[in-house]
Amino acid sequence: MARVYLSLGSNQGDRLDQLRRAVHHLRNSTEIELVEASRIYETEPWETPPGQVADRSAWFLNCVVEIETTLSPHSLLARVQEIERALGRQRSGLSDEARRYEPRTMDIDILLYGTEVISVPDNLHIPHLLMHERGFVLHPLADLAPKLEHPVLYQTILELLDQLEDEHDVVPSALPLRWFAT
């Protein structure tokens, strides 16, 4: 089984319920075992229209889950995209760059898949190409695996977090640490 880290985020609808439902879908997959989940973080959206301040209700709830799976990286990508669709995710026809900042009911990204390094243009990149630049990924990942080494950058998650230049707010939620178990 491969040890995998997934980033989950939602900023539409009942965000906490969306995260819980995503974890429920992962748990119900016979090829996936949930190992642990980070605390939840409230995170400022990366792009807010000019002249506007993002209302806290538009912020994301983000977390990272650690799983073990027998699915291949490509099969896991297909599975998490199925879960996103089941939770109401609709991908627009916008460019990848424009779509990157869209609001979403659920976003699930594969951050790390063991020590695999995979790059298939317009399809799958492991480790996630931007994870080292994003506080909303590194903070929860550091909750679970602070000493884990990035397989391309050869730095631990804590080292990457120490060097992070992302200035967007990432605030630990007041929710219980085992939010996913309820």
Query: What amino acid positions are annotated as catalytic residues?
Result: 89, 104, 107, 109
Q: How far is CA 28 from CA 31, 136, 176, in A?
A: 9, 26, 23
Burial (CB count <10 Å: 0-12, 13-18, 19+), residue 3: middle
Closest to 37 measured CA to CA, from 58, 70, 13, 61: 61
d(CA 171, CA 23): 21
Q: Cα angle at 30 between 76 and 130, to 5 degrees?
A: 25
Strands 32-37 and 107-113: unpaired
